[in-house]
Structure 1
Amino acid sequence: MRDILNDLENDLRLSDPDPVRRAQKQMRKPLPRRFYKNVSVAGEGESYSVLLDGRAVRTPAGNTLALPNAQAAQLVAQEYDAQGEEIDPMTMPVTRLVNTAIDGVASDTQAVAEDILRFASSDLLCYRAEGPERLVEQQAQAWDPVLDWVEAELGARFVLAEGVMHVEQPRQTIAAVAAYLRPRRAPLRLAALHVMTTLTGSALLALAVEAGAIEAEEAWRAAHVDEDWNIAQWGEDAEAAARRAARRRDMMGAVALLKAMDEANGERGTRE
């Protein structure tokens, strides 16, 4: 399922999950030229479509790109409207995410949820450095509040380990995460959670962001405590910085989609 999601997340079906290498592959192929002038959103019932010169956008698999509320549809419309003479899917994280949800996640939500649970079973936040002391402190400052929230909100207590040796999490802990995920099986929401999980290496950070327990920027920094420590010691590689910037763009696209859905849900008092 993860390979399928990597393929579907890009309109051109480029399979490399690394955003920099994916962009390099894309540059070898001419980008499609912008063929439309006007972008709009049209609603019918509880479904909203993005229109290019009055024609509904379709996903790479040929499905109608339909969204549950106007706020979410506007995010996709803005990405299309922002395109220049060429259409560059790399600059359209919400559109790629929506395509993934419709063409891939919707057909097998169970497999996607299980993938998130696999991340939880070896979550980034559970693996602590043995040293130096300052890095240990930074990990604790960034990660412990999230684990505290998980225990309070989900009733799940995770076992911590030093180093990279795998630690088995209690069955009841993973079961609690599974139960928390169960009402979050709507394809768009689940796809956004999956993207956030894979980009941060932490299902717990993704769930905390979705719940509003931690801001997206704070979660992004928490996911890169180790990387930032190494940068402070050895400096930053330009290609690695570009790769991280591309990942961050995809992360914030997922967060924006969740916020758009939650704002609309708040008006109706429901969760999608």
Structure 2
Amino acid sequence: MKKFYKTVTVDEQGGRVLLDGRPIKTPAGNPLIFASLPLAQGIADEWAAQGEKILPETMPLTRMSATQIDRVAPRRSEMEIELVAYAGSDLLCYRAGEPAALVERQAATWDPLLHWASGKLGLSLVPTSGIMPIDQSEEAMAAAARYVVGLSDVELTAFALAVPPAGSFVIGAAMIAGKLTAEEAFSVSQLDETFQIELWGEDYEAADRRAALKLEFIEIERFLKLARV
């Protein structure tokens, strides 16, 4: 889209970003009202940085705010159910049987997070070896449900953006809680891939995908921090 505005300002009273004095709307046509003034300023900076053409891929804060308003808030109950399901198939619970070096690395990296989830969230998940699915307890799934219900819309948005690429309910929760930084969450979720790269190397396309995924985690973390101020 060609740039159609000249000035970008922040309406501090309404928490809105204004383009030539007119408020931004989401793709669904909803008012883009922000969770905090710092987030509004961050989004204003994204719009102000655009050149002759508007490049949506350079505006992660705008995209995530619109996701919160258009997708999370109106269908929150459905999203909660979808996210709880990840606790039943959490990446951290599916362990390799071999080689020993990978088994040891998974245990050393993933076990502390499972212990944290059990103590902090009451979410006790049971790990297994291999790829065959196992059923987690009703108590664990109920704890996962309680956790997502307790999240604010902003937190649920960040959680919903982080959990699918991580493949892990626990990693997403640890990131929301500040137990893991964005870079740590990326590293933990990519443990298996990193191990294989160390053995066999990495092609350019895979490296680009991993770099994009890491940046996505960093942007989610930034969105959450600005919205919470």
User: Is the structural similarity TM-score above 0.5?
Assistant: yes
Does the alignment pair 1:141 with 2:134? no
Aligned twin of 2:75 = 108
Aligned twin of 1:85 = 52
CA contact (8 A) 2:5 2:19 kept: yes
Aligned twin of 1:236 = 202
**Amino acid corresponding to residue 112 of structure 2 in structure 1:** P
- SS of the aligned residue for 2:150 comes to helix
Equivalent-residue separation in structure 2 for 1:129 and 1:246 (angstroms): 26
Q: CA RMSD in A?
A: 1.4
Equivalent-residue separation in structure 2 for 1:97 and 1:198 (angstroms): 15
Does the alignment pair 1:223 with 2:161? no
TM-score (norm 1): 0.80
Aligned twin of 1:94 = 61
Equivalent-residue separation in structure 2 for 1:205 and 1:60 (angstroms): 30
TM-superposition CA deviations, 1:37-94 (whole Å, max 9, x none)? 32221122xx411112222111111111111210121222222222222211112222
Aligned twin of 1:257 = 223
Equivalent-residue separation in structure 2 for 1:85 and 1:249 (angstroms): 24
1:228 CA drift (Å):
0.7
1:225 CA drift (Å):
0.4
**Amino acid corresponding to residue 187 of structure 2 in structure 1:** R
- Aligned positions, number: 229
Does the alignment pair 1:166 with 2:126? no
Sequence identity percentage: 41
Equivalent-residue separation in structure 2 for 1:234 and 1:37 (angstroms): 51
* Residue 167 (structure 2) aligned to one of 201, 219, 238: 201
* Residue 69 (structure 1) aligned to one of 14, 36, 41: 36
Aligned twin of 2:20 = 53
Equivalent-residue separation in structure 2 for 1:199 and 1:146 (angstroms): 17
TM-superposition CA deviations, 1:187-234 (whole Å, max 9, x none)? 332111100001211111111111111222111100000111111122
- SS of the aligned residue for 2:12 comes to strand
**Amino acid corresponding to residue 141 of structure 2 in structure 1:** I
Which region of structure 1 is more displaced relative to structure 2, 33-42 or 151-160? 33-42
1:248 CA drift (Å):
2.3
The 5 Å alignment of 1:151-162 reads 151-162=118-129
Equivalent-residue separation in structure 1 for 2:58 and 2:169 (angstroms): 25
List runs of 5+ in structure 1 lacking aligned partners.
1-31, 265-272
Aligned twin of 2:3 = 34
* Residue 245 (structure 1) aligned to one of 211, 215, 221: 211
Equivalent-residue separation in structure 2 for 1:65 and 1:254 (angstroms): 18
Aligned twin of 1:16 = none
Runs of 4+ in structure 1 off by over 4 angstroms are: none
List runs of 5+ in structure 2 lacking aligned partners.
none
